Amino acid sequence: MQALKKTLPRSNFSAAKGPAVSYVRAMQRFLDAHGFQRIIFQTPSRNLAANKVKQIWNISPCDRDTFIMPTMAEPIETTRYQVERADLAGIVERVERFWKCKPVRKQE
Give 89's strand partners: none
CB 65 within 8 A of CB 42: yes
Map out the domains of the chain as residue ranges. Answer: 2-100
Q: What is the pLDDT along the chain (108 residues), one digit of tens a residue?
A: 444 444 444 444 434 444 566 778 888 888 989 999 999 988 999 999 888 888 888 888 999 989 887 887 889 899 999 999 999 888 888 887 777 665 555 555
The helix/strand/coil state of 39 is: strand
Given this model, what pLDDT does residue 54 score?
86
Element (H, E) at 30: helix 18-34
3.40.630.30, 3.20.20.140, 1.20.140.10, 3.40.630.10: which CATH number matches 2-100? Answer: 3.40.630.30
Given this model, what pLDDT does residue 56 score?
81
